[in-house]
Structures are given as structure tokens and as C-alpha cells.
A and B are shown apart, each in its own frame.
Chain A
Amino acid sequence: MSTKLTKELLESLPDARGHFGDYGGRFVSETLMDSLVTLEREYHRLKDDPEFQEKFDKDLAHYVGRPSPLYFAERLTRETGGAQIWLKREDLNHTGAHKVNNTIGQALLASFLGKKRVIAETGAGQHGVATATVCARLGLECHVFMGSEDVQRQALNVYRMKLLGAEVHAVESGTRTLKDAMNEAMRDWVTNVDDTFYIIGTVAGPHPYPLLVRDFQAVIGREARAQSLTQAGKLPDALVACVGGGSNAIGLFYPFLTDESVAMYGVEAGGFGLETGQHAAPLCAGRPGVLHGNRTYLMEDENGQISATHSVSAGLDYPGVGPEHSWLKDVGRANYVSVTDEEALDGFRQLTRVEGIMPALESSHAVAYGTKLAAGMDKDQVVIINISGRGDKDIHTIANLDGIEI
């Protein structure tokens, strides 16, 4: 049962308390409340400020290299034998992923607020690299928190961050992955709240983060919509994007939400399979709860303790998801599905082999589901798959799985 989403309804969300229906909100300890209230107020002021917007647009064009192409994957389409498959090439952005759209926006906010010290959490390291990059450019002190297991899995990105001048803090608590990195970033923020700006990398966290990250990432969908009309001659029939926290997916989906004919698929990390419990698919197999400042679908046990997650892709290895996705699931506007590690790896190999494009393991989840979806659709239909990042960072992981030492 899908609710028709009007422009008015969408503009009313999140509400004044940061809620998307039952989800979102601001569940943090009191020390952070004043900073969040200030950030919300300043963001609402700056988002309509011509000077701020001009700077943001200019950076996206000349530093990130936008617009990113919408590429018709002809051989992949032929091999799949169904709908036309088009790829939104966020992997071609400076730093190699969509993450930089948001870090540019938030770092601009930090400078407008006069904060000199920036912290960030990272899973795969793409958000950490994107944050370290903009901090290098703006001369801001940068600290990145990363679970020690991810430090191992993503050694290349750790070194990139260090070269960019960031201090990388390996987090040893909990499950030593993205959720623990976020806990540690929150702890740092509470301690250094006066001079520190926290650049959250996804559409989760306390209000106003889900709102401002979505706004900064929505450039993906705005471009894709215009490009599809021009290049494919019509709106797409389906959008496909991977969902960890969900920032690349919301960025692609948001500008299409009122286009009723456009179906949307968010692809979660199925890990070893939903039936094994070892996955990172809260929308497919979790239930609502509160973590990291917002109410949303979570992976948790019957006592409300957060579960350990598993995904071959560090960037999707997170037990929560952005609250707007939880809402889109409940109102039936977007579909949330999952693919396993193995299917994602097949997607990686196929796109590399037939198009010469090496997607990140995160994006490979979207490739795997997108081709499956396209196979069952008509030849005149259009599917857009978001290639949220490039796969260079994952070469070691894939070589390891192949038993090859690099």
C-alpha cells in the first residue's frame, strides 16, 4: 500500500522536531542539544543564503567535477536482456564516491560557523577520505574515527586519510566497525563541543543531520532526473541504490519522490543471507528502535541490545539506517530488498568485465539487484543504478577472497 507523496507533504518533513512520521528525532545527551539546535538554526538560514549556495554549487562543479555522467551501459543491458540499464557515475567524483557532495556542504557550514576542528566517523573509509580532503583544502584540523576491523579491511583509505593530514583513530570498543566509530565520534564531540564540528557521513544521526545530508546529496537525483529526460527521453521506470545508512540512495530517490511512475529499490547488505542472521539489513529484517540520535529500523536482539552485523562491504556494515528510509518503507513509496555478499561480488565482477567499470563493493549490491530487476522488465524501460563509489579501495578484499596476495 503506497501513499501518494505530494510536494506539500514532503516539504513538511522532517517536522519541527526532526521527525519523519514515527522516525528521526533528536535522541542525544543534553550536552549536545545546544549545538544541534544552533546547527539547525544556522542551516535553515544558510540554505537560502545566495552566498552559501553559490559557494556550494561552485565547489561541486569545479572541485568535485559535477555533474557526474548518466552512462548508458550498453553491453550490460545486452547481457542482461531486459530494461535499459543506465549508471549514475558518482564513482567519477573527486575522491571516488558520492560522499564528497555532503562533506563539501558540511565543511562549508563548519567554516560559516567558525569551527576549526572537524571530526567524522567512517566505515569503508570513503567518508573519512572525503572529509580529510575538504579539511585539507580549507585548512581545518581533522580527526577520523574508524573501527579497528575496518582499519584492517580498508588500509588503502587509512593511508589516504593520513596523507591528507587527518588523524585516524582506530576504535577498539564493541564490534570495532562503523557503529562503534560513530559512538566514539559522539564521545569526542561531547568532550570538544565548543570548537568541533561533527561531519556525519550518512542520513542518520540526530536532527538536523538526516535533513542536511539529504539536501546535500539530492544533487545526485536532480541531475539524474534531468539527464534521464534528455538522454533516455523519459523519466526512469526504476531507481536502484545500495543502502547502509542510505545517503546515496536518498540523494538519488528524493527528487523523484513525487514522480509516481518511478519505482525505487534500496538494496541492503544481505551478508551470508537474511536467514543466517549475519547481515546488515535492518529495513528487511529489523525493527524500529533508537540508536545514534534517531528512531529508525535497527538490528537488535529481543532485549534492545544492538546486534553485530556482517557485510563484505565495510560501508554497509551498520545496524541502523536513515530515518527517512524507515518512513519511505512504512508508507510504501520505496522498496527495500537485499542481496548477499556473493551476489554483490558477482555484480562487481560483471560490471568490471563487461563495462570496464569497477564499482565499490557497496555499489556492487545495487548492480547485483539492478541487473536482476532489469532482466524482468521490458526493453523500452529504463533502470538507473547508482554507482555510489569506485572499487579501487576494495581490491585487497576481493584479492583475499580469491586467495591472491597483493
Chain B
Amino acid sequence: MSRIEGVLNNLKGQGRKALIPYITAGDPSPALTVDLMHTLVEAGADIIELGVPFSDPMADGPVIQLACERALVHGTSLKQVIDMVREFRTRDDATPVVLMGYLNPVEAMGYEAFADAAADAGIDGVLTVDLPPEEAVDVAPLFAARSLDPIFLLAPTTTDERIRAISEHSSGYVYYVSIKGVTGSASINVEEVAAKVQHIHELTALPVGVGFGIRDAETAAAVGQVSDGVIVGSVLVDTIARNQTDPEQLKRALTDLLQPMRNALDNLTS
């Protein structure tokens, strides 16, 4: 059983929902990333999605675009991001880490070299925004052989036929993109999301995480009610942007943002 599956099974057994924060590696500086990852865990994260910065983040809104730019100023490379997870693992071998990013840095490193390095560093899953399962035929067996969970996106526009096919290529969880848009854009319509997630649950046994548009305890609770986990990105990254000069204040601000979400999710079941 993969680390992701283990954590999600455990939560399910307890009737709890997963809190999955996203930050961009190297933002505001590479030296801080591992510290921030520990902060996220202490504030209640169950799984961490760690963004790999890319020069052309086509699916991201301005907040994460700027995070990529800040990280790239320091030359943050995929290899360095993998090393950050290796360092994180020296203190935390329980919290799953999913790398999230775009395909080209992985292509540049080479699929096999990447899969080896990621597995060796203790990375658990890989979500590549611009790699649909149709194009993943070469890389899928390399991930499977190293127990790396491929996480794929589902969108409001995804047909039933595709939901089934994508789920068959996924393990760990599937990531439902709650809105048509880029990260950090519109606010979500909880009723629509609830209906779609329920429908996805009918088509796959995999846990469903929901991301895009979750910005506070209230939206986290509303989405947590209908899914297996909530993914929180832009609001955290925006907090990093606003506190980039003071690491201690930044950690407090991230904690102040995540803890109420954690509490709201845990109160759903009490």
C-alpha cells in the first residue's frame, strides 16, 4: 500500500477528510521550502502538494505565476525540488508528498532518471498538469514499477467515458478541478461541485480531492462535506507572497490560515 493510500484509508476509517495544501518549491527562497513543509504538517496537512516551478505555467493564475517567477529567480530546478523532499523525509516519513507541475522539466531530466530520483527521495505521487493519460503511456510503467502514484485531473468538462478511463490510469486519488478556469480565479459553486463529485464517486472507487477556489474554513468545510479531501493552493501562495521577507511571520500566517480549515474539516464529522 502506498503512503498516500495508507493516509487516505486511515482518514476514511476515522470519518475524516484530507487537508492537502499546495506551495511552490523555491518560493520565496529554496532554503525555506523544507521548513514551510514542516509548518504545513504541524498546522494539520495530511498530504503536501509541492509545486515544481515552470517558466510557462499555462493552467495557473497570476498568484502561482508569480510564485514560479520568484522560485526561478533562485534557479530552483526539478533536481533541487527532489532534494528538498529528500531533506523533508529526514524528519517526516509519514506525510505523503505529491509533486505537481508541468511536463517539460520532467522531459528535460528524462522520464527514467526522474522516476528513479523521485522514488529514491521519498516522493509519493506525481501530478503533471499538461500530461493527460493518453500521453502518459511511456511514463506510466516507470511510475508503477517504483510505486509512484500518478495523480490525474478531472474537470467539469470531463465526460463519463473519460472519468472512467482517467480513473483507471490513476492511483492514490483523483484531483477534481472545481471550476472552469485557472488556479486562484473564480469562487466555486458548492452545489455544482457536490453533484459532480457524487457522480465521480459513482464511476470510481478512488478518493476524490477537490481543488481550485478553496480559500477559507467555510469553503473548505463546504467542499469537505462532499469530497474526500480539499486542496488549497493560491490562498497559501498569496500568503507567502505577502510575508516573503519575514520567515517567522510567514510560518505563523500559514498556520493561521490552515488550522481553521483543519478544525472546520474535523468538525464536519463530530
Contacts and interface: CB of A to CB of B under 8 A. Distances in A.
Interface stretch (B13-21, B55-63, B217-225): B55-63
A292 B58 contact: yes
Interface string B51-84: 0001111111110010000001001011100000
Contact of A183 (B56, B104, B129): B56
A298 B72 CA distance: 19
A304 B78 contact: yes
Interface string A235-272: 00000000000000000000000000000000000000
Interface string A276-308: 000000000000111111010010101111100
Given A25-B135, A30-B154, A174-B56, A304 B185 contact: no
A35 B157 contact: yes
A12 interface: no
Interface in A6-34: 17, 25-34
B31 interface: no
A31 B103 contact: no
B200 to A, nearest CB: 12
Nearest to A187: B182
Nearest to B176: A30
Contact of B158 (A34, A289, A291, A306): A34
A190 B182 contact: yes
A306 B103 CA distance: 12
Contacts of A302: 108
B106 interface: yes
A190 B180 contact: yes
A173 interface: yes
B155 interface: yes
A144 to B, nearest CB: 18
A375 interface: no
Contacts of A180: 56
B210 interface: no
A191 B185 CA distance: 9
A193 interface: yes
B105 A304 contact: yes
Contacts, number: 119
Interface string B145-174: 000000011111111001000100000000
Contacts of B152: 30
A186 interface: yes
A49 interface: no
Interface string A365-394: 000000000000000000000000000000
Contacts of A304: 54, 78, 104-109
A26 B135 contact: yes
A218 to B, nearest CB: 27
A180 to B, nearest CB: 8
Nearest to B102: A290
A30 B179 CA distance: 12
Interface in B98-117: 102-109
A28, A34, A183, A304 — which one has the most chain B CB atoms within 10 A of its CB? A304
B130 interface: yes
Contact of B59 (A25, A190, A303): A190
Given A34-B159, A304-B78, A26 B134 contact: yes
Interface residues of B, number: 45
Contacts of A30: 132, 152-155, 157-158, 166, 177
Contact of A31 (B107, B131, B180): B180
* Dominant secondary structure of chain B at its interface with chain A: loop
A33 B157 contact: yes
A284 to B, nearest CB: 19
A179 interface: yes
B65 A290 contact: no
A373 B108 CA distance: 35
B247 interface: no
Given A173-B65, A174-B55, A27 B135 contact: yes
Nearest to A16: B134
Nearest to B154: A30
Contacts of B162: 33-34
A194 interface: yes
Q: Which of A179, A183, A190 counts the most B-chain CB atoms under 10 A from its CB?
A: A190
A291 B55 CA distance: 10
A88 to B, nearest CB: 33
- With most chain B CB atoms within 10 A of its CB, the pick from A27, A191, A192, A300 is A27
B79 A303 contact: yes
B141 interface: no
B181 interface: yes
B22 to A, nearest CB: 15
A28 B107 contact: no
A298 B157 CA distance: 30
Interface of B: 54-62, 65, 72, 75, 77-79, 102-109, 129-132, 134-135, 152-159, 162, 166, 177, 180-182, 185-186
21 contacts: A17-B135, A25-B135, A26-B132, A26-B135, A27-B103, A28-B132, A30-B154, A31-B153, A31-B157, A31-B177, A33-B162, A179-B56, A183-B56, A183-B58, A290-B107, A291-B104, A302-B108, A303-B75, A303-B79, A304-B78, A305-B105
Counting from the closest, the 4 A-B pairs by CB-CB distance are A304-B108, A304-B105, A31-B155, A30-B153
Given A191-B182, A290-B104, 7 more contacts: A27-B130, A31-B180, A174-B55, A191-B185, A290-B107, A298-B104, A305-B55
